Amino acid sequence: MLDLILKRFNWKSFAFGATVAVVGGSVARPLLVQAVKAGMDLSSMAVDTWKQASTEVAKIRAEAAQVSPSAATTDALLEELRRLREEVAAVRSKVEERQPA
């Protein structure tokens, strides 16, 4: 095994390996650390966004539950709707009277 290594050894491959060891450690490691930090930041941002959305949905649901119409408001709204329909029917009849047949 040692014979195989010594036969394939040359100064060019040694220099290349040493350069990769020195430069790779000083360049690749900080890049990997930054990539991991960016991934962790994205993960925490996603979790924060999810929590905020859940909170907003809960607020909207609570507000909608408080605004739900009571029987008196429902009756008043139905009465107003009936009155508006009568007004629309009256306006339609006036428009039809004015148009020649």
Span 57-64, average pLDDT = 87
Query: Which residues lie below 8 Å from residue 69, measured CB to CB, with a gap of 6+?
Result: 77
Cα 38 from Cα 27, distance rounded (Å)? 17
81 has pLDDT over 90: yes
Phi, psi of 9 (to 5 degrees): -75, 135
Structure tokens at 25: 């450690």
17 has pLDDT over 70: yes
Confidence of residue 68 (pLDDT cuts 50, 70, 90): low
Cα 40 from Cα 45, distance rounded (Å)? 9
Confidence of residue 1 (pLDDT cuts 50, 70, 90): low
